[in-house]
Chain A
Amino acid sequence: MIYNIFKKELIDTLRDRRTLMMMLVIPILVFPITLNVFVGISASFQEEAAVKTLKVGIVGDKNSYFAQQLNEIPSEMGAKKLVFFKDSASLMTELKKDSIQLGIITEKQFNQSLEAQLPARVTWYFDATEIGINERAEQYMKIIEVKAQQKRYDELEVDFRKVTPFQTSYQNIASDKKMVGQIAGGFLPYIFIAFGFIGCMYPAIDLFTGEKERGTIETLLTTPVARWQILFGKMMVVVLSGLLASSAALLGLFISIEFLNIVDNQEIMKIVHEVLSPLFIASMFSLLFPLTIFFAGVMIPIAVYAKTFKEAQSIITPLNIVMVLPAMVGFFPGIELNFITACIPVVNVVLATKELISGTLEFAYLALSFGVMVMLALVSVFVSYKQFGKETNVVS
């Protein structure tokens, strides 16, 4: 009986365009489209920045200190053109009008300070909303400063090595896999959880509230099928829809990485392929499965209680934020899967996935997370069963 109900509800669900859009089309297309657009825009910005001639405003003339220093910097670091101003006010006006992108203003005693071997004050002005300008200013200043420093060492006849007590280097010992895990590990489960939730949402509303609203539930309840069988048959479709939406998102991500040349680095590509192994996918779904049951178990009592599709939607939609918000924990560094976090639903799935990608997951915590999710799933199924059993909820 459960299978008969499941089969019918699945056919019915797959014929609903709205559900199909939310369950398969959007999750598959969201990554290829957004990443393609993102990469395209980013590339065009980079190209534009590379060929763009940066106009640098200087108070003074071509013989001023910074004009000379900047002219000595090779154009391979990016094309630039110097524009001279009589005073700082006119420089600032032009900078605000964006007719120049960088402005250099020095203190009045700049040359004297420099000659007296004192710190000479210089201020670089730029609009931080324009990409790459700040970095260019820092690059120029670093070159100019190193040169000025070297000149002072020579004048003072000081050996550069004698005033450099340390030769420090900072070495990252994290494997590339761990690094990818840190970056993608937060993002990936967030997407899965969000799509899993959305994937469950429309079928849950349609199969429970929708059936009540359309008046079909009454006839179903007069058939010799137990209510729990009806509930389970429908719930299986809701869970499957959530899992399909998550899988579609994974497929979309795979298509994006494989065919859209988003990742240039071959090493990272190798890690990504390694991460997207059958074992990873199986482990991932072992967590997603109870999570999706939990989502279904949370939505179904609401859908059973609601009298109209609109009412159900208005309750479940804000719930999306409550459910998906803990998934953002994956974006924060330093939060690890431990005994406490493994007991927090959604958070445990995110952190376990993150550590799964990094290759640092401890089996005991995975088992605990799985156990917690299964427990919650069972509780939510029980709540759904109770709600669906209430005759005043089921028949309007």
Chain B
Amino acid sequence: MIKVNALTKDFPLSRQQRKELNIDEKIARAVDNISFECHPGKVFSLLGPNGAGKTTTLRMLSTIFTPTSGTIEIAGIDAIKYPQEARKKIGFLTGSTGLYARLTPVELIDYFASLYSVPKNELESRKKYLFDLLNMHDFLGKRIGKLSTGMKQKVSICRTMVHDPEVVVFDEPTSGLDVITAENIIKLIRDCKDQNKTVIFSSHIMSEVDLLCDDLAIIHKGKIKHEGSMLDFRTNMQESNLTAEFIRIVQS
């Protein structure tokens, strides 16, 4: 479960940045007083155009950024007061996630498992399960730098899921990926939902959202413009298709 209440994030602007943006304000508000809830066994989508504040929100949920104000609860843990505890419950994946090119997939998974303090006996069964599921056995001993994009994405998924997180955060997970590689991600999101995990993912592709999500929030210029279930969204839309409705809400 994720509970977000009145979340705000300000970034200080340097003199150079103020000059470039031609503004006088010393801070930029990336996220402005947003609240939403994501439930276990459901996929929540944070939808918005580029620069809307999706990544900043997800980075706050993953405790990479500290909010300026507001509260975040991850699986019952106050993520602002106890970020390390909250991180134990989170799996984080982005489309642009880099991997350590000089390590092999096994070394990388072992490394992240050690950071999540996964017990050794559990790790072996977890690795076997994930390697079988993602069909990774053929390239486990190769250096990651020599793997194809699809193989790398499988390693990323494996790294995200190695500690069996309760909450999974996907930041534009299919961005820049080919159709076949993106399909692995779609499958992972569905699997997470089936396993009763809380899933939040950000996207600017309406078709992807339509395919996967149960609930959604549309965010624009740091503010939530719409929040509710996908079913309600479809039922109440004023435009002929989902993309047109998304654009209408953003521009309203």
Contact = CB atoms under 8 A, between A and B. Distances in A.
Contacts of A35: none
A143 interface: no
Contacts of A5: 115
Nearest to A15: B102
Nearest to A17: B102
B93 to A, nearest CB: 8
Interface stretch (B62-70, B190-198, B202-210, B224-232): B62-70
Contacts of A223: 87, 112, 115-116
A216 B96 CA distance: 9
A224 B117 contact: yes
A218 B65 contact: no
B92 interface: yes
Contacts of A16: 102
A282 B184 CA distance: 55
A8 interface: yes
Q: Which of A214, A223, A394 counts the most B-chain CB atoms under 10 A from its CB?
A: A223
Contacts of A222: 62-64, 87, 90, 92, 169
A215 B96 contact: yes
Contact of B115 (A4, A214, A218, A391): A4
A224 B102 contact: no
Contacts of B135: none
B64 A4 contact: no
Nearest to B82: A224
Contacts of B8: none
Nearest to B103: A12
A223 B114 CA distance: 10
Contacts of B12: 392
A41 interface: no
19 contacts: A8-B100, A8-B103, A8-B107, A15-B102, A215-B96, A215-B97, A216-B98, A218-B59, A219-B92, A219-B112, A219-B159, A222-B62, A224-B87, A224-B88, A224-B115, A225-B84, A226-B84, A394-B64, A395-B59
Given A224-B115, A225-B115, 13 more contacts: A4-B114, A11-B102, A11-B103, A214-B101, A218-B97, A219-B97, A222-B62, A222-B87, A224-B87, A226-B84, A392-B12, A395-B59, A395-B65
